[in-house]
């Protein structure tokens, strides 16, 4: 019974904090909002309220203040009839290209702290936007919008008119390129004859070497070369090269064999673009340069990336995330590197709130370190919402 009372009090607290926020802050609506589907999750509710369309902004604002949802979504697609109850009846008109990078996509994400996850996923996001979308695909910056999701990652919306009518298969080709799927060494490296011998007046190759592309070449060729050179430098500078190789997933025995193959002379040859014919070396460098330079868009090979979904629901900018209380924040590309979600998206008040913490947590929010132990204690409201939203605490009774 006490648990039920505490849970109810916690939900009421969250709802009241969100109500105060939405009373003072009205999220902006996306372009052509009358052609978008909207969806909501409410505190204590089950499932999602969706298939809703709004013809006027006041209708949306009134709905928001009446329901006080924990999460607000809208469709990346445009529809003739966004409020229709089935997808077929909505009459699809086109959709933005959406990239959703979440910390769940990172290797061993469960072993990382929340702030470390956010730090690493931002690096992946920057690589996606700068290296692939702007450079390789050549999208104009005016068509590329960046957002912090309010939770564990980042969203990128590409609104170039040229991509609005791409179907799922065409979008999947974009994903395959960004993730380096099916990239083979024969597409990146090329054999070069280093000598010839003559027999009966006919010349035959007497030696070959495998050449890497120049690091400044466009696309995957230059990207793989830069990745290989970075890996070489990491191994050379490491105090324990075998341990460094294990970080790349190489077993101890394979690491020792690889280090024997990777003599100092051979490493210098690789830096010069001469990748020897050792299959072990070729496979190691291609796989790991690919892993270093590709972008993790989905949680696994069987996970369908958001990008391929032409009917995706995405979080509404300036709304609050129900599990953190952080704002879904737009970010300009030139500000991305300095952007700190645990500082820049904290919008709830700092009044003190009594909570009952279930487990220890160490986190830095709004430039303040919180080293909290289990039990009852006082924390600022924005920390309380974060802890309760993530089910790490309840309102103290």
Q: What pairs with residue 331 in β-bridges?
A: 146
Q: Do residues 363 and 370 lie in contact, with contact meaning Cβ atoms separated by under 8 Å? A: yes
Distances (CA, A) of 214 to 110, 178, 188, 229, 271: 37, 20, 11, 11, 10
User: In sequence order, what DSSP letters do the residues of 2-32 get, joined into one string?
Assistant: HHHHHHHHHHHHHHHHHHHHHHH--PPPPTT
Among the listed residues 18, 114, 28, the one whose alpha carbon sits nearest the alpha carbon of residue 340: 114
First-last CA distance in the chain: 12
Beta bridge partners of 332: none
CB 144 within 8 A of CB 132: no
- 100 SS3 class: strand
Which of 71, 100, 131, 136 is catalytic? The answer is 100
Buried b (16+ CB within 10 A) or exposed e, 27-60: bebbeebebbbbbbbbbeeeeeeebbbbeeeeeb
Q: Select which of 71, 102, 136, 261 is catalytic.
A: 102
Active site residue 254: no
Residues 325 and 17: beta-carbon distance below 8 Å: yes
Residue 318 backbone dihedrals phi, psi, to 5 degrees? 75, 0
Q: Is 102 among the catalytic positions?
A: yes
**Residue 40: in which H helix or E strand, if any?**
strand 38-42
Q: Of 23, 167, 261, 303, which is the active-site residue?
A: 303
Give the span between the Cα atoms of 149 and 324, in whole angstroms: 10
Residues labelled as active-site residues? 100, 102, 303
């Amino acid at each position: 019974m006490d648990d039920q009372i505490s849970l109810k009090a916690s939900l009421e607290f969250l709802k009241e904090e969100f109500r105060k926020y939405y009373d003072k802050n009205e999220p902006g609506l996306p372009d052509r909002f009358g052609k978008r589907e909207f969806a909501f999750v409410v505190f204590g509710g089950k499932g999602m309220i969706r298939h809703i369309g709004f013809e006027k902004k006041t209708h949306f604002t009134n709905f928001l203040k009446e329901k006080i949802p924990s999460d607000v979504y809208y469709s990346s697609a445009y529809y003739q009839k966004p409020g229709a109850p089935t997808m077929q009846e909505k009459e699809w008109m086109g959709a933005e290209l959406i990239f959703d990078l979440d910390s769940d996509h990172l290797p061993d994400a469960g072993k990382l702290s929340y702030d470390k996850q956010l730090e690493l996923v931002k690096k992946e996001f920057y690589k996606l936007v700068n290296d692939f979308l702007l450079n390789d695909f050549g999208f104009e910056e005016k068509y590329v919008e960046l957002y912090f999701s309010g939770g564990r990652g980042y969203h990128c919306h590409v609104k170039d008119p040229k991509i609005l009518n791409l179907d799922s298969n065409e979008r999947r080709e974009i994903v395959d390129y960004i993730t380096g799927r099916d990239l083979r060494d024969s597409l990146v490296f090329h054999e070069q004859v280093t000598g010839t011998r003559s027999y009966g007046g006919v010349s035959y190759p007497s030696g070959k070497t495998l050449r890497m592309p120049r690091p400044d070449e466009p696309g995957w060729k230059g990207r793989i070369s830069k990745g290989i050179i970075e890996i070489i430098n990491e191994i050379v500078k490491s105090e324990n090269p075998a341990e460094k190789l294990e970080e790349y997933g190489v077993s101890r025995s394979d690491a020792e064999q690889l280090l024997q193959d990777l003599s100092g002379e051979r490493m210098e040859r690789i830096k010069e673009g001469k990748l020897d014919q050792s299959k072990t070396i070729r496979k190691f460098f291609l796989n790991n340069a690919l892993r270093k330079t590709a972008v993790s868009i989905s949680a696994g090979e069987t996970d369908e990336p958001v990008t391929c979904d032409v009917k995706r629901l995405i979080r509404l900018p300036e709304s609050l995330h129900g599990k953190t209380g952080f704002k879904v924040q737009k970010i300009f590309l030139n500000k991305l590197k300095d952007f700190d979600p645990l500082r820049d998206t904290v919008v709830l008040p700092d009044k003190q709130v009594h909570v009952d913490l279930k487990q220890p947590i160490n986190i830095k929010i709004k430039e303040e370190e919180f080293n909290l132990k289990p039990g009852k204690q006082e924390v600022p409201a924005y920390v309380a919402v974060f802890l309760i939203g993530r089910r790490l605490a309840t309102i103290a009774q």
